[in-house]
Amino acid sequence: VRVKLDPDGPEPLSQQLAALLRSEIETGKRRPGSRLPSINELAEQYGIATGTARKALNILKDAGLATGSVGHGTFVAR
Amino acid sequence: VRVKLDPDGPEPLSQQLAALLRSEIETGKRRPGSRLPSINELAEQYGIATGTARKALNILKDAGLATGSVGHGTFVAR
DNA sequence: GTACATTTGTTCGTATGTATA
DNA sequence: GTATACATACGAACAAATGTA
Protein backbone atom coordinates (compact mmCIF):
# COMPACT_ATOMS: atom_id res chain seq x y z
CA VAL A 1 0.00 0.00 0.00
CA ARG A 2 1.37 3.34 -1.03
CA VAL A 3 1.86 5.71 1.86
CA LYS A 4 -0.44 8.66 1.45
CA LEU A 5 -1.02 9.71 5.03
CA ASP A 6 1.70 10.70 7.46
CA PRO A 7 0.94 9.77 11.08
CA ASP A 8 3.82 11.93 12.23
CA GLY A 9 2.88 14.93 10.10
CA PRO A 10 1.78 18.23 11.56
CA GLU A 11 -1.81 17.75 10.37
CA PRO A 12 -4.19 15.23 11.96
CA LEU A 13 -4.82 12.06 9.92
CA SER A 14 -8.51 12.93 9.62
CA GLN A 15 -7.66 16.28 8.04
CA GLN A 16 -5.07 14.72 5.77
CA LEU A 17 -7.58 12.19 4.47
CA ALA A 18 -10.27 14.83 4.09
CA ALA A 19 -7.87 16.99 2.09
CA LEU A 20 -6.94 14.03 -0.10
CA LEU A 21 -10.56 13.18 -0.87
CA ARG A 22 -11.34 16.84 -1.37
CA SER A 23 -8.65 17.15 -4.01
CA GLU A 24 -10.00 14.06 -5.74
CA ILE A 25 -13.41 15.68 -5.83
CA GLU A 26 -12.21 19.07 -6.97
CA THR A 27 -10.05 17.64 -9.74
CA GLY A 28 -13.03 15.70 -11.07
CA LYS A 29 -11.55 12.35 -10.21
CA ARG A 30 -14.70 11.78 -8.19
CA ARG A 31 -17.91 12.90 -9.87
CA PRO A 32 -20.91 14.55 -8.21
CA GLY A 33 -23.39 11.90 -7.11
CA SER A 34 -20.79 9.15 -7.04
CA ARG A 35 -20.28 7.08 -3.93
CA LEU A 36 -17.20 7.56 -1.83
CA PRO A 37 -15.51 4.52 -0.28
CA SER A 38 -17.23 3.32 2.86
CA ILE A 39 -15.81 4.09 6.25
CA ASN A 40 -14.50 0.55 6.60
CA GLU A 41 -12.93 0.68 3.16
CA LEU A 42 -11.19 3.96 3.89
CA ALA A 43 -9.97 2.67 7.24
CA GLU A 44 -8.54 -0.45 5.65
CA GLN A 45 -7.05 1.26 2.62
CA TYR A 46 -5.26 3.89 4.64
CA GLY A 47 -4.50 1.84 7.70
CA ILE A 48 -6.44 4.09 10.07
CA ALA A 49 -9.21 3.59 12.59
CA THR A 50 -12.81 3.74 11.49
CA GLY A 51 -13.38 6.68 13.78
CA THR A 52 -10.66 8.60 12.00
CA ALA A 53 -12.10 7.76 8.58
CA ARG A 54 -15.52 8.83 9.76
CA LYS A 55 -14.11 12.11 10.97
CA ALA A 56 -12.61 12.75 7.55
CA LEU A 57 -16.00 12.19 5.90
CA ASN A 58 -17.60 14.49 8.44
CA ILE A 59 -15.19 17.23 7.45
CA LEU A 60 -16.33 16.84 3.83
CA LYS A 61 -19.98 16.85 4.88
CA ASP A 62 -19.49 19.97 6.98
CA ALA A 63 -17.86 21.59 3.97
CA GLY A 64 -20.89 20.72 1.85
CA LEU A 65 -18.86 18.45 -0.38
CA ALA A 66 -20.56 15.20 0.57
CA THR A 67 -23.76 13.80 2.04
CA GLY A 68 -24.26 10.63 4.06
CA SER A 69 -27.09 8.13 3.81
CA VAL A 70 -27.51 5.38 6.39
CA GLY A 71 -27.41 1.95 4.83
CA HIS A 72 -26.42 3.43 1.50
CA GLY A 73 -23.13 5.27 1.73
CA THR A 74 -21.56 8.69 1.47
CA PHE A 75 -21.86 10.54 -1.82
CA VAL A 76 -20.16 13.47 -3.50
CA ALA A 77 -22.51 16.43 -3.36
CA ARG A 78 -24.17 17.40 -6.62
CA VAL B 1 -25.28 30.05 27.34
CA ARG B 2 -25.32 30.60 31.06
CA VAL B 3 -21.95 30.24 32.71
CA LYS B 4 -22.09 27.27 35.04
CA LEU B 5 -18.48 26.22 35.13
CA ASP B 6 -15.61 28.46 36.14
CA PRO B 7 -12.33 27.65 34.39
CA ASP B 8 -10.52 29.90 36.82
CA GLY B 9 -12.20 28.48 39.90
CA PRO B 10 -10.41 26.59 42.63
CA GLU B 11 -11.99 23.28 41.62
CA PRO B 12 -11.13 21.39 38.41
CA LEU B 13 -13.74 21.63 35.65
CA SER B 14 -14.35 17.88 35.81
CA GLN B 15 -15.22 18.08 39.49
CA GLN B 16 -17.38 21.15 38.96
CA LEU B 17 -19.40 19.40 36.27
CA ALA B 18 -19.66 16.22 38.34
CA ALA B 19 -20.93 18.24 41.30
CA LEU B 20 -23.48 19.97 39.07
CA LEU B 21 -24.81 16.71 37.67
CA ARG B 22 -24.77 15.19 41.12
CA SER B 23 -26.96 17.94 42.48
CA GLU B 24 -29.36 17.46 39.55
CA ILE B 25 -29.57 13.79 40.44
CA GLU B 26 -29.95 14.29 44.16
CA THR B 27 -32.65 16.92 43.77
CA GLY B 28 -34.63 14.56 41.57
CA LYS B 29 -34.19 16.69 38.48
CA ARG B 30 -32.69 13.59 36.90
CA ARG B 31 -34.52 10.36 37.65
CA PRO B 32 -32.97 6.94 38.29
CA GLY B 33 -32.65 5.05 35.01
CA SER B 34 -32.76 8.19 32.90
CA ARG B 35 -30.02 8.94 30.41
CA LEU B 36 -27.51 11.64 31.11
CA PRO B 37 -26.33 13.86 28.24
CA SER B 38 -23.70 12.18 26.10
CA ILE B 39 -20.08 13.07 26.51
CA ASN B 40 -20.14 15.07 23.29
CA GLU B 41 -23.28 16.91 24.36
CA LEU B 42 -21.78 17.81 27.73
CA ALA B 43 -18.56 18.93 26.07
CA GLU B 44 -20.45 21.16 23.68
CA GLN B 45 -22.93 22.53 26.22
CA TYR B 46 -20.26 23.49 28.71
CA GLY B 47 -17.51 24.37 26.27
CA ILE B 48 -15.11 21.78 27.61
CA ALA B 49 -13.08 18.96 26.09
CA THR B 50 -14.62 15.53 25.73
CA GLY B 51 -11.96 14.11 28.02
CA THR B 52 -13.02 16.49 30.73
CA ALA B 53 -16.70 15.64 30.30
CA ARG B 54 -15.81 11.95 30.44
CA LYS B 55 -13.87 12.51 33.62
CA ALA B 56 -16.90 14.13 35.20
CA LEU B 57 -19.05 11.12 34.31
CA ASN B 58 -16.38 8.83 35.69
CA ILE B 59 -16.56 10.64 39.01
CA LEU B 60 -20.29 9.92 39.10
CA LYS B 61 -19.73 6.29 38.17
CA ASP B 62 -17.06 5.91 40.83
CA ALA B 63 -19.52 7.35 43.31
CA GLY B 64 -22.10 4.77 42.26
CA LEU B 65 -24.43 7.44 40.91
CA ALA B 66 -24.25 6.46 37.25
CA THR B 67 -23.45 3.57 34.95
CA GLY B 68 -22.09 3.69 31.40
CA SER B 69 -22.97 1.48 28.45
CA VAL B 70 -21.11 1.60 25.12
CA GLY B 71 -23.41 2.45 22.25
CA HIS B 72 -26.19 3.49 24.62
CA GLY B 73 -25.15 6.20 26.97
CA THR B 74 -24.62 6.92 30.63
CA PHE B 75 -27.55 6.44 32.98
CA VAL B 76 -28.49 7.55 36.47
CA ALA B 77 -28.11 4.58 38.81
CA ARG B 78 -31.35 3.01 40.04
C1' DG C 1 -41.87 -11.83 3.41
C1' DT C 2 -37.86 -12.83 5.91
C1' DA C 3 -33.31 -13.17 7.08
C1' DC C 4 -28.66 -11.44 6.33
C1' DA C 5 -24.92 -8.30 5.25
C1' DT C 6 -23.56 -3.56 4.51
C1' DT C 7 -23.42 1.18 5.80
C1' DT C 8 -23.93 5.51 8.33
C1' DG C 9 -24.66 7.49 12.88
C1' DT C 10 -24.09 7.63 17.90
C1' DT C 11 -22.19 6.25 22.04
C1' DC C 12 -18.80 4.82 25.73
C1' DG C 13 -13.97 3.11 26.85
C1' DT C 14 -8.94 3.56 26.49
C1' DA C 15 -4.53 5.44 25.25
C1' DT C 16 -1.15 8.89 23.79
C1' DG C 17 0.90 13.43 23.14
C1' DT C 18 1.02 18.47 24.07
C1' DA C 19 0.39 22.56 26.76
C1' DT C 20 -0.32 24.95 30.98
C1' DA C 21 -0.59 26.26 35.80
C1' DG D 1 7.17 17.45 39.18
C1' DT D 2 2.13 16.93 39.34
C1' DA D 3 -2.44 17.62 38.04
C1' DT D 4 -5.59 19.57 34.81
C1' DA D 5 -7.20 20.28 30.28
C1' DC D 6 -7.15 19.77 25.37
C1' DA D 7 -6.74 17.23 20.92
C1' DT D 8 -6.13 13.20 18.43
C1' DA D 9 -6.44 8.34 17.51
C1' DC D 10 -7.89 3.56 18.16
C1' DG D 11 -11.43 0.11 19.56
C1' DA D 12 -15.98 -1.69 20.44
C1' DA D 13 -21.14 -2.03 20.94
C1' DC D 14 -25.59 -0.60 19.54
C1' DA D 15 -29.31 1.38 16.48
C1' DA D 16 -31.51 2.36 12.13
C1' DA D 17 -31.78 2.36 7.13
C1' DT D 18 -30.73 0.17 2.89
C1' DG D 19 -30.11 -3.45 -0.38
C1' DT D 20 -29.90 -8.28 -1.55
C1' DA D 21 -30.58 -13.18 -1.53
Alpha carbon distance A21, A37 (integer Å) = 10
Query: What is the per-residue pLDDT for B1?
Result: 46
| Cβ neighbours for B16, distance < 8 A, ≥ 6 positions apart | B4, B5, B6, B9
Beta strands in chain B (DSSP E): 66-69, 73-76
Query: What is the per-residue pLDDT for A74?
Result: 98
Q: Is the CB of A55 under 7 A from strand D?
A: yes
Please report which confidence band the pLDDT of residue A3 belongs to, taking 50, 70 and 90 as the band edges.
Answer: low
DSSP state of B63: T
The structure's pTM equals 0.90
C-alpha A77: how far from chain center? 13
The DSSP bridge partners found for residue B75 are: B35, B67
Given a cut of 70, whether residue A78 has pLDDT beyond it is yes
Q: Is the CB of B29 under 7 A from strand C?
A: no
Query: What is the per-residue pLDDT for A4?
Result: 87
User: Average of pLDDT values for B25-47?
Assistant: 96
pLDDT, tens only, B48-61: 999 999 999 999 99
Nucleic chain D contacts, protein chain B, residues 27-56, CB cut-off 7 A? 47-52, 55
Q: Is the CB of A71 under 7 A from strand C?
A: yes
Q: How confident is the prediction for chain B on average, in pLDDT?
A: 94
Given a cut of 90, whether residue A64 has pLDDT beyond it is yes
pLDDT, tens only, A29-52: 999 999 999 999 999 999 999 999
Given a cut of 50, whether residue A1 has pLDDT beyond it is no
Q: How confident is the prediction for chain A on average, in pLDDT?
A: 95
User: Average of pLDDT values for B27-46?
Assistant: 96
C-alpha B26: how far from chain center? 13
